[in-house]
Structure 1
Amino acid sequence: MADTPKRHMKDKIYETYLGRIQRGEITYDDRLVDTAIAEEFHVSRMPVRDALMRLTHEGYLESTTRGFTLPTLQYDQILDMFELRRLLEPRAAALATANLTEADLETLTEAVARSERTLETGDVESLYAASEDIRRTWIMAVPNVELRETILRYMAQIQSVRLVTLRDEEAHHTLVDLHRQMLQAFCSRNAAHVELLLLRYVFAGEASFLRIKGEGPHG
């Protein structure tokens, strides 16, 4: 019984930081240090270390000599991730279509409206936030739990890649247009069209990444 409070805090810290990672609140510039997190939760370092090690074992973080960070992906690994996304996300989104609630559709509608406004403002941070809300809403409606958790895990790992591709002006209009079309397909419960649109969305992101990589000094 004496271990219950520690176990409870370990789980609470794990869930808190898992959520922050999945929502994009932790970036590649952030270093998670156990002493700082222990102060945040007013606990010893032990439950913090347990939570951070669990996140590391699950692939959300990697351990360094100066704390825990998001995993660093190499070029080939990023291309492999895009292939994985093409294989999993279109089908997952199709499965989610029938499960979306009216509240989910309202969330999607509001997020797409924010996405559309970025065409005028050019606010990449707002586009990223809207894209994350759209993505997370349909992913959480995927009925296959293992499929859902797999997507959440690798999407957390490639957040920086997504932010870079969203900064690609050439892709901006394409992505917003796909947001609009996906909303219409979700609202009409057209799973086949959702599947096609998600495939196009992933291809657009990959094309943007390759274009940006080609423009860089090491492309």
Structure 2
Amino acid sequence: MLKPSDNLVDAIYADLRLKLQRSAVSPTDRLVDTEIANAHGISRMPAREALLRLVSEGYLVGTTRGFAVRELSLEDISGLFEVRRQLEPRAAACAARDMTPDIEAEITAAMNRVERALSESNIPALLAANVDFRNAWLKAVNNPHMAATISRFIDYFQSVRLGTFADPGAAYQYIDGLSRIHAAFLAHDPLMVQDRMTLFMFAAEEAYLSVRRRQLQEAETARPVRRRIQKRGTA
């Protein structure tokens, strides 16, 4: 339960945003303001305001049964990665230049958790550690507007990220790229970080597009089956 002194809207927003970052909300889940309010022991309006903020930022969409995760088209993924490639490599290079020992320790601890979660096939822990790694290096970006924008664009991919990490081959490739970026951060080499982040972006885009194509194909295949079931139910 939230404390009375908390800003309720901000607190619920932060809680929901963290769940979205960690892919704890699936595309089939529905977020309902009354259910969220009851879970936190508060009135409905702060929960609804937090949900509407997430809608305005592009994370959620309204449905007849509550709010749902925004699902990305193939064009969305390509367009978002185009923006990310303009921002993240340069920001990461600046982070490598300005990284403090404390932040370096944070990204190393996060990388260790990433590798442990991968070895244990613990996808929720892998998602959480991946978010921790990203948030740690973004602390070294001195432009807070840049850091916030990068964080927002990365979070748009949460509905696809779960499918990527569920594929062992894609997960190992993803973590290998992350490990190379981590090594470049430890070397405090801005150019190396920039180059490795750029390569990482291209590989991630390819993996995300592959997962999303498969999701769309599976949805298309399932559609006639659902229609037949519905027809039997009304016969």
| TM-score of the two chains, using structure 1 as the length reference | 0.83
Partner of 1:166: 165
* Uncovered stretches (5+) of structure 2, i.e. residues with no partner: 219-235
Task: Please report how far the alpha carbon of residue 159 of structure 1 lies from its aligned counterpart in structure 2 after TM superposition.
Answer: 0.9
Per mean C-alpha deviation after superposition, the further-off stretch among 207-216 and 96-105 is 207-216
Partner of 2:133: 134
Bigger radius of gyration: 2
Task: Please report how far the alpha carbon of residue 141 of structure 1 lies from its aligned counterpart in structure 2 after TM superposition.
Answer: 2.8
Say if 1:123 and 1:40 are closer, same or farther in 2 by CA, change over 3 A: closer
Partner of 1:85: 84
Paired residues of 1:165 and 1:205 also in contact (CA < 8 A): no
Paired residues of 1:20 and 1:26 also in contact (CA < 8 A): yes
What RMSD in Å do the two structures reach over aligned CA positions? 2.7
Paired residues of 2:59 and 2:69 also in contact (CA < 8 A): yes
Partner of 1:145: 144
Per mean C-alpha deviation after superposition, the further-off stretch among 168-177 and 50-59 is 168-177
Q: Write the mapping of 1:1-219 to structure 2, written as runs, cut at 5 A.
A: 8-117=7-116, 120-212=119-211, 218=217
Per mean C-alpha deviation after superposition, the further-off stretch among 185-194 and 127-136 is 127-136
Report the Cα distance in structure 1 between the residues aligned to 2:12 and 2:215, rounded to whole angstroms: 38
Say if 1:9 and 1:218 are closer, same or farther in 2 by CA, change over 3 A: closer
Task: Please report how far the alpha carbon of residue 126 of structure 1 lies from its aligned counterpart in structure 2 after TM superposition.
Answer: 4.0
Task: Please report how far the alpha carbon of residue 119 of structure 1 lies from its aligned counterpart in structure 2 after TM superposition.
Answer: 6.0
Say if 1:6 and 1:36 are closer, same or farther in 2 by CA, change over 3 A: farther
Paired residues of 1:89 and 1:198 also in contact (CA < 8 A): yes
Report the Cα distance in structure 2 between the residues aligned to 1:151 and 1:181, rounded to whole angstroms: 20
Paired residues of 1:10 and 1:47 also in contact (CA < 8 A): yes
Report the Cα distance in structure 2 between the residues aligned to 1:212 and 1:8, rounded to whole angstroms: 38
Say if 1:99 and 1:168 are closer, same or farther in 2 by CA, change over 3 A: same
Report the Cα distance in structure 1 between the residues aligned to 2:94 and 2:68, rounded to whole angstroms: 32
2:7 is paired with a residue whose SS is helix
Give the residue type in structure 1 aligned to 2:188: R
Report the Cα distance in structure 2 between the residues aligned to 1:36 and 1:178, rounded to whole angstroms: 39
Give the residue type in structure 2 aligned to 1:185: A
Paired residues of 1:62 and 1:71 also in contact (CA < 8 A): yes
CA deviation profile, 1:62-103 (whole Å, cap 9, x unmatched): 211111122121121112122222222111211222343323
CA deviation profile, 1:1-37 (whole Å, cap 9, x unmatched): xxxx799322322233233323443332332111111
Task: Please report how far the alpha carbon of residue 157 of structure 1 lies from its aligned counterpart in structure 2 after TM superposition.
Answer: 1.7
Paired residues of 2:23 and 2:127 also in contact (CA < 8 A): no
Report the Cα distance in structure 2 between the residues aligned to 1:44 and 1:120, rounded to whole angstroms: 43
Report the Cα distance in structure 2 between the residues aligned to 1:102 and 1:144, rounded to whole angstroms: 19
Partner of 2:230: none
Report the Cα distance in structure 2 between the residues aligned to 1:216 and 1:27, rounded to whole angstroms: 13
